[in-house]
């Protein structure tokens, strides 16, 4: 049994590697004849090289488009089970789902449900989020009572003051602009670089089939 599992995992890893490698080469090298020098065949070669990558990407896009079906099936099954277990919220969710489908069938082309229900709800949530963030901001020092917490509070206050449209606050606005332009940018870029590095390494691991979640 274990032997078969290993074989299956190896086949999956090899297939993944081959497909991934082909796509990578095709996407990076394809469609750029300049890479192949002055060879008269360069154009055709570059185009042919681009084909597998493009085909795989198209396939992926189709699969991504279909994945919404998985999402809906998952949502319905999960909440049907939860409703059977007596969860009221799941019942409401399923009823809303049915109502929205019914609305769509009875009034084809009518899209105002989104504007009438979803938009106000999401806007209310955004307002709630604003309240939550302010309430969270008011408690930064209770959570982080160190120099970094203090710094965070100061920066938040300066940036907020800088965004106010009062002419008297112009010096603070200038300082806030500088804060956002230089130190905040530097920090943001550092974080993004870190994430990019991590992405490359995880990508390489996935390509090599070393990713545990892929091996199953």
Partner 1 sequence: METTTQQVLSLLLVFATIVLVFAARILQARAGSRRKLRSIPAFERIPNWGSQAIEADSPLHLAFGSASIGEDNTTTALANAELFQRIIANNSAGDSPPTLSTSAPTTIPLASATVAAAWTGADGARNLHWYPQGKRALGYAAGISAVIGEDAPAAHILAGSFGMELGLILDSAGCNRQGSLAVSDQLEGQAVAFAMADEALIGEELFIAPAYVADASRLPAAAIVMDIWRALLMILVAAALVMGIAGQLPWLSWQLLALVALVALVLGVILWTLRRRRAEA
Partner 2 sequence: MSDDYSWLDEPPPEANQPSASEPASQRRFTLRMPRFLSRLRIRRRAPKAAAQPSASASLLGSQRERPLTELDQRLKALRERSLAPEPRDEWAELYDVDQALSSPALQEKPGGVISAVALSQAQQAQVDLLTEIVGGQSNPAQAPARRSLASAASQSLPSMSRLLTVALLLLFVALPFASSEYATGALPPADFADDPQANAYFAALDSLAPGDYVLVAVEYGLGAAAELDALTDLTLRHIFARRARAIFATSNPIAYLHAQNLLENIRAQSAQAGLRLVNGLDYLLLDYLPGGALGIRELSENFADIARRSLRGAPTSLPIDSLTGLKMLVLVADGLDDVRNWVEQALPEAGTRNLYAATSLAASPLTRAYVEGIDRFAGLVVGLRAAYTYGAMLDAALSVDAQAPEQIIEIADASSSSASGTSPLTPPPSPSPSPLPTDTPRPTSTPTPLPIDSPSPTPTTAMLRIVEVTSPQSPVNIRVGPSTAQTVLGLAYKGDILPVLDASADSSWYKVLMSNGWEGWISGNIVTESLVPVPASGGDDSASLTSERTVLSRFVPRRYGKIEPRFSQANQDPSSTLGAIVQLRERAEAAPRLQALTMGTVAAVLAITLGNLAAAIGALFRRRGGRA
161 binds, among partner 2, partner 1, none (CB under 5 to 8 A by kind): partner 2
> Where would I find the beta strands (DSSP E) of the chain?
none
Residue 192 in contact with partner 1, rule: CB under 8 A: yes
Q: Based on the shown chain and the rule CB under 8 A, indicate whether residue 98 belongs to the binding site for partner 1.
A: no
At residue 124, φ and ψ (nearest 5 deg) are -65, -40
Q: Which of residues 8-27 bind partner 1 (CB under 8 A)?
A: 24-25
In whole angstroms, give the CA distance from residue 213 to residue 9.
Answer: 11
Rule CB under 8 A: say whether 84 interacts with partner 1: no
SS3 at position 4 = helix
Q: Give the residue, chosen from 5, 58, 81, 104, that forms a contact with partner 1 under the rule CB under 8 A.
A: 81
Do residues 61 and 84 make contact, with C-beta atoms less than 8 angstroms apart?
no
Distance of CA 54 to the CA centre of its chain: 22
Residue 170 or 185: the one with the smaller Cβ distance to partner 1 is 185
- Should residue 188 be labelled a site residue for partner 1 when binding is judged by CB under 8 A? yes
Binding-site string for partner 1 from residue 140 to residue 169, where x marks contact by CB under 8 A and - marks none? x--x--------x-----------------
95's contact among partner 1, partner 2, none, with CB below 5 to 8 A by partner kind, is none
Residue 117 engages partner 1 in binding (rule: CB under 8 A):
no
CB 144 within 8 A of CB 152: yes
Separation CA 214–CA 3 (nearest Å): 18
| Of residues 39 and 87, the one with the C-beta less far from partner 2 | 87
Closest by CA to 207, choosing from 79, 22, 41, is 22
Quote the least distance from Cβ 174 to partner 1, whole Å: 22
Q: Please state, in angstroms and as integers, the Cα–Cα distance from residue 94 to each residue in 34, 74, 79, 97, 106, following that order.
A: 56, 12, 7, 5, 18
Q: What is the distance between the alpha carbons of residues 161 and 62, in angstroms, rounded to a whole number?
A: 48
Q: Enumerate binding residues for partner 1 (CB under 8 A).
A: 24-25, 28-29, 32, 34-35, 60, 63-64, 67-71, 74-75, 78, 81, 87, 89, 118, 121-122, 125-126, 128-129, 132-133, 135-137, 140, 143, 152, 188, 190-195, 197-208, 210-214, 216
């Amino acid at each position: 049994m274990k032997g078969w599992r290993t074989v299956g995992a190896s086949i999956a890893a090899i297939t993944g590697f081959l497909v991934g490698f082909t796509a990578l080469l095709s996407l990076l090298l394809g469609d750029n004849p300049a890479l192949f020098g002055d060879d008269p065949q360069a154009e055709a070669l570059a185009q042919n090289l681009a084909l597998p990558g493009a085909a795989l990407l198209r396939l992926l896009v189709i699969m991504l488009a279909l994945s919404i079906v998985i999402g809906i099936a998952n949502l319905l099954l999960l909440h049907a089970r939860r409703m059977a277990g007596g969860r009221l919220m799941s019942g409401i969710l399923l009823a809303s789902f049915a109502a929205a489908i019914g609305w769509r069938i009875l009034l084809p082309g009518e899209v105002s449900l989104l504007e009438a229900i979803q938009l106000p709800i999401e806007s209310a949530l955004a307002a709630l989020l604003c309240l939550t963030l302010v309430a969270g901001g008011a408690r930064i020092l209770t959570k982080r009572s160190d120099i970094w917490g203090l710094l965070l509070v100061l920066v938040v206050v300066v940036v907020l003051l800088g965004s106010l449209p009062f002419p008297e606050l112009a010096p603070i606005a200038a300082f806030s602009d500088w804060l956002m332009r230089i130190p905040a940018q530097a920090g943001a870029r550092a974080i993004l670089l870190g994430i990019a590095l991590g992405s490359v390494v995880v990508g390489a691991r996935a390509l090599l089939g070393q990713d545990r979640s892929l091996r199953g």
